[in-house]
């Protein structure tokens, strides 16, 4: 989702700004732009629709040079994907601003600004913000005070950065919602939406808090809170690698990340198991106290992370822990009957999902025994806001569609279920059995990856399809949901998942010889039930594409294609059966020729609600 970078340097800032945008590309965007204050003290702007490479091309044709500048990747919310709507927005030729997030009262402000004689060149809510800052400057306020005054008038959730032609060594930035980080070296200062953009210049950073306004003047940066009081924010050191991501032998980051899963899960498990046991401090120093107080779990997440939560419910309930799983955007606006002893668990690869953050805040307001996040980004907001954190340690995920973070999050959640099982009377033999299975995960994932060639062949059948159904039962219903989500995200084929037993309650009407039906069929307690459901599909002429345990008894025929998944214990089966579905959607997307790593309209880090 939208990304901001800015710099006050003592040499040309354009290289840093462009590299910063490249490093924010993975978040998802549809246009990009930059403003630099040139050596004559004029604002110079370049904006393009499409990839950062387009902007780079434009800058190669007409370079912008200057020591202070701001840049932005835009993910359209208000107004279409056009160059005039791309940021930065400029008011009066002197003031340039970039903004992430949403300004809810933009219509009211726009009306007043019209009346004040200001003209508009875009349909965005951001242009209203730059006009508002300008109006305050006109009244004689200093730039930072004008930004603070503007923030008080804006409703919504946003982060912004602004430069003024009259003050070429200065940049002012502010946060009221989406994250904004400040980085400094001895004589320069930088802002960015996430740490990736700062890494080429520094690992040290400060996280602005809501209401903060920061005034950057080279090495001198002053942060004031919403009341105008000077504050200091903790200086953190990033543990992330500064290397820009490299595709290696793969065609896409998604393919690379699918293949990294054995290593990712091994890294997730590193230091988390001792002998036959899960180490509780993998979840944080306070884990034992909070787990002792936990009576039930409420999992809150979005999208793929929500699917990980649905799988975890099966594990938690198996060990006797009541569990509900909530979509964050629904949870945050619902009334709740809070229950004593609730451990709220958020799941988020980015740690920045606005709905999940707001839902966590709401859950904490209700009163909880503690909060735990399962997350891949140590420096993220959800990690900061939670009592406990289980870091998945699987390295940066660049492909917009989550793959290795999903598998690693499920692994972390299985460890959580084991840690809580001890308090539900499950003996050490049970934990030892599951831990043993968990240790086999990297090898079992590797074996599933060996199916790729066969899956690429299977994918051919989907090249001309507009729809697909995905079926699963038990803990594999969420895996089917995840398979359907992956297929729609990256191949744009409409796909829906059903609990296989639900088929006859409606969706069976969709089935005919043109409808591919994909099912995951591990050899578990529900296999015979699933086989009956699959027969219902066959009887209606549906085409079946099955990922099945060799012992399931499912056999190939003209209308049934079966690919065998090596036998796995049912405790870890959902994690393993994820892989063939990821590979299927990847290969279908290749056939469709879509932008696999950056599917249309989607963002990696969803920082607006």
Give the footprint of ligand F6R on this chain (CB under 6 A): 302-305, 348-350, 353, 356, 401-402, 485, 489, 606
Q: Which residue is listed with tokens 């982060």?
A: 159
Q: Which residue is listed with tokens 């919403």?
A: 226
Residue 401 C-beta: closest distance to ligand F6R, Å: 4
The secondary structure of residue 209, as a DSSP letter, is P
The secondary structure of residue 508, as a DSSP letter, is G
Q: Which residues pair with 7 in a beta bridge?
A: 69, 190
| Annotation says 364 is catalytic | no
| Annotation says 2 is catalytic | yes
Q: Which is nearer to ligand F6R, 71 or 485 (CB)?
A: 485
Q: Of residues 2, 298, 375, 394, which has the active-site annotation?
A: 2
Distance CA 269, CA 409 (A): 11
Distance CA 469, CA 150 (A): 49
Residue 328 C-beta: closest distance to ligand F6R, Å: 8
Question: Quick one: CA dihedral 330, 331, 332, 336, positive or negative?
Answer: positive
Q: Which is nearer to ligand F6R, 85 or 607 (CB)?
A: 607
The H or E element that residue 589 is part of is helix 573-592
Q: Which residue is listed with tokens 């005054």?
A: 149
**61 CB neighbour count, 10 Å cutoff:** 8
The secondary structure of residue 557, as a DSSP letter, is B
Q: Which is nearer to ligand F6R, 349 or 533 (CB)?
A: 349
Token pair, residue 250, equals 């793969």
Q: Which is nearer to ligand F6R, 171 or 485 (CB)?
A: 485
Residue 514 C-beta: closest distance to ligand F6R, Å: 27
Residue 307 C-beta: closest distance to ligand F6R, Å: 8
Q: Which of 518, 513, 472 is nearest to 491 (CA)?
A: 518
Residue 606 C-beta: closest distance to ligand F6R, Å: 5
Residue 479 C-beta: closest distance to ligand F6R, Å: 14
Contact indicator for 299, 476 with CB cutoff of 8 Å:
no
Distance CA 13, CA 60 (A): 15
Length of the chain: 609
Q: Of residues 51, 404, 486, 604, which has the active-site annotation?
A: 604
Q: Which is nearer to ligand F6R, 157 or 305 (CB)?
A: 305
The secondary structure of residue 244, as a DSSP letter, is P
Q: Where are the alpha helices (DSSP H) in 68-214?
A: 106-115, 126-138, 143-153, 195-198
Residue nearest to ligand F6R (CB): 303
Q: Which of 33, 232, 62, 195 is nearest to 124 (CA)?
A: 33
Distance CA 185, CA 401 (A): 34
Token pair, residue 288, equals 């034992």
Distance CA 318, CA 320 (A): 5
Distance CA 258, CA 403 (A): 6
Q: Which is nearer to ligand F6R, 168 or 599 (CB)?
A: 599
Q: Which is nearer to ligand F6R, 125 or 257 (CB)?
A: 257
Residue 605 C-beta: closest distance to ligand F6R, Å: 6
Residue 52 C-beta: closest distance to ligand F6R, Å: 21
Q: At what angle do helices 14-24 and 52-61 cross, to 10 degrees?
A: 160
Q: Which is nearer to ligand F6R, 1 or 147 (CB)?
A: 1
Which residues are catalytic, by number? 2, 604
């Amino acid at each position: 989702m939208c990304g901001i970078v800015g710099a006050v340097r003592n040499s040309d800032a354009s290289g840093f700004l462009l590299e910063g945008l490249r490093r924010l590309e993975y978040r998802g965007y549809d246009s990009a732009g930059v403003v630099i204050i040139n050596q004559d003290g004029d604002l110079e702007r370049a904006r393009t629709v499409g990839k950062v490479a387009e902007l780079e091309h434009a800058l190669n044709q007409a370079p912008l040079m200057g020591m202070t500048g701001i840049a932005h990747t835009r993910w359209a919310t208000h107004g279409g994907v056009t160059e005039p709507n791309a940021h930065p927005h400029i008011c009066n030729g002197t003031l340039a601003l970039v903004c992430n997030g949403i300004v809810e009262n933009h219509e009211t402000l726009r009306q007043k600004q019209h009346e004040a004689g200001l003209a508009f060149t875009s349909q965005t809510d951001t242009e209203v913000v730059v006009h508002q800052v300008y109006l305050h400057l006109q009244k004689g306020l200093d730039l930072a005070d004008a930004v603070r005054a503007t923030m008080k008038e804006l409703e919504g959730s946003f982060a912004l950065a602004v430069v003024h032609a009259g003050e070429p060594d200065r940049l002012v930035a502010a946060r009221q919602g989406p994250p904004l980080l400040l980085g400094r070296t001895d004589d320069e200062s930088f802002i960015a939406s996430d740490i990736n953009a700062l890494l080429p210049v520094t690992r040290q950073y400060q996280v602005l808090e809501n209401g903060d306004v920061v005034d950057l003047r080279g090495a001198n940066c002053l942060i004031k809170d919403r009341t105008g009081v000077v504050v200091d924010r903790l200086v953190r050191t990033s543990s992330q690698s500064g290397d820009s991501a490299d595709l290696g032998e793969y065609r896409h980051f998604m393919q690379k990340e699918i293949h990294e899963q054995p290593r990712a899960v091994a890294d997730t498990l590193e230091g988390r198991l001792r002998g036959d046991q899960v180490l509780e401090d993998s979840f944080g120093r306070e884990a034992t106290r909070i787990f002792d107080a936990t009576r039930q779990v409420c999992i809150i997440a979005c999208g793929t992370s929500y699917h990980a939560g649905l799988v975890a419910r099966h594990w938690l309930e198996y060990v006797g822990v009541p569990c509900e799983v909530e979509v964050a955007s629904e949870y945050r606006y619902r009334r709740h009957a809070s229950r004593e002893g609730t451990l709220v668990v958020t799941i988020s690869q980015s740690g920045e999902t606005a709905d999940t953050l707001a839902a966590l805040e709401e859950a904490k307001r209700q009163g909880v025994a503690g909060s735990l996040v399962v997350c891949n980004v140590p420096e993220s907001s959800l990690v900061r806001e939670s009592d406990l954190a289980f870091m998945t340690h699987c390295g940066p995920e660049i492909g917009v569609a989550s793959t290795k973070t999903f598998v690693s999050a499920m692994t972390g959640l299985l460890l959580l279920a084991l840690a809580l099982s001890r308090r539900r009377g499950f003996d050490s033999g049970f934990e030892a059995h599951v831990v043993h299975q968990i240790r086999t995960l990297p090898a079992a994932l590797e074996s599933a990856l060996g199916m790729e060639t066969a899956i690429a062949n299977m994918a051919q059948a989907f090249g001309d399809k507009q729809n697909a159904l995905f079926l699963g039962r038990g803990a594999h219903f969420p895996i089917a949901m995840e398979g359907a989500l992956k297929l729609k995200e990256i191949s744009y084929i409409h796909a829906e998942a059903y609990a296989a037993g639900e088929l006859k309650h409606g969706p069976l009407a969709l089935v005919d010889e043109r409808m591919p039906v994909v099912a995951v069929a591990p050899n578990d307690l529900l296999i015979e039930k699933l086989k009956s459901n699959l027969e219902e599909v066959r009887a209606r002429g549906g085409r079946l594409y099955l990922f099945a345990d060799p012992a399931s008894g499912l056999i190939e025929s003209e209308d049934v294609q079966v690919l065998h998944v090596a036998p796995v214990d049912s405790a870890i089966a959902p994690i393993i059966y994820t892989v063939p579905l990821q590979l299927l959607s990847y290969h279908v997307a290749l056939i469709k020729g879509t932008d696999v790593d950056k599917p249309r309209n989607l963002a990696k880090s969803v920082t607006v609600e």
